Structure formats: C-alpha cells, structure tokens
Structure 1
C-alpha cells in the first residue's frame, strides 16, 4: 500500500533541480538511475566475498545496455529495419548488399561446391565384366 508521504514530490537530493520521491531516496528518476549504475559498478569492482558472508537476499535491478543502431559496414548509414546481413557476417544498406559492392571475403564458389557435394553423393557403378566370346 502506498502512503501519501511516499509519493510526495520533494526537490531532488542530487541537486539537479527536478523533483524526486521518497521511494527513490529523494532522487529524481535520472539521478536515481545514475546512483544505481554507480552502485553496480562498485559491486563489479569489488572482489567476490566469501560464501559465508554472502547475504541471503540481494536486490535485483534490471539494467539494460543501450541498443546500438545498426550501420552499413561500407558507408556507415543507419540501417533500421532495412538492413541486409551478408554471409561474411556484416550488415549492409541496399546499395552495398551485393558481394561485389562491399568486397565480400566470403568464398561463394567453395560454399556452393560443398553444398552440392552434400546434396549429390558420389555414385559409381561397379565395373562391368563382359564375358569373353570364344568362337
């Protein structure tokens, strides 16, 4: 149950000029997020504690990495939904999607030969022995 005191808008304790809540330690959402990230960074830097000193309950905070925009490997244009992935493992825009346009190092001939070798097994017939004709 949320009390009225918990949702009361107070000036941010971080001094940014925004309003914070008691639920966020009197911090605004931006300063609270920064403080949580700093706490996570200090936890990562600390060495692992011994198993006997590990607290039984630790608060879990979901922190997501910022999503990096996909860019064309040739012209560095933002791709969005229209990016094309090549067999060489890179993403390209429409004009650079063809292997000739981005100097693709992938060997298409060899991959085609291997695919055909798997699909079409080698079939050899036994040698035919013709009976010798004697007159």
Structure 2
C-alpha cells in the first residue's frame, strides 16, 4: 500500500516507482525528472525532499542550453528517512538504512547503516 500525506509536491508523478509498502509524511517534495525507485517498507518523515535533476556547473552551458540532467534515485527496502532530509540526484540508499532528520545525502549509502549530517555520513551499523 502506498500512502502519501498531503500536501505533497512532484514534477511529473510518472517517474515514481513503488515496490510495496510506502509512507510519506506531510509536505514531501519529489523532483522526479528522473526515476524515483522505492523499495518495500520505505518510510519518509515530513518535509523530505528527493531531487533527481541537476544542471550543468558551467554557467555558459547552463544559460545558453538550459539543460536539465536527470539522475535516478534508488531507495532500498526498509529504509527510514528522517524529517527535513534532502536526497540529491543519483543517490542509492541501501536496504535497512536510517537517515537522521535534517540530513543532506550527497553520496550513495550502503545497506544496514545509520547516516546523518550535512553532508550525511555513516554513524554506525544497524
């Protein structure tokens, strides 16, 4: 069962893929230019943001071409992402991982860890 509290914002909605049970607390935001892939039993706290789009760093390329580059995000089974966390484009979060509230996940994380901080770092195994 997929349950999403409102308000909830997304770009397209067609790039959201759920493997099973999923819960998103209120006020989450998904920029789903690229695929958002959610495993089974994923839980998101309030105001979690997941970004799958980025832009060129070079200002000339960014301004002249207006390119948006999509990078999928993959979230494994039994993941809990604490409220106010941000997941950046291209990140993979392994199964059974917990992300502490207010974290900014800039790189992929392995399975079975607790990660937190800005940027998020592995604190310990779970």
Higher helix share: 1
- Same fold, TM-score > 0.5, yes or no: no
Question: What's the TM-score, normalizing by structure 1?
Answer: 0.19
TM-score scaled by length of structure 2: 0.20
Structure with greater proportional strand content: 2
Structure 1 or 2, whichever has the larger Rg, is 1
Higher RCO structure (Cα 8 Å, ≥6 apart): 2
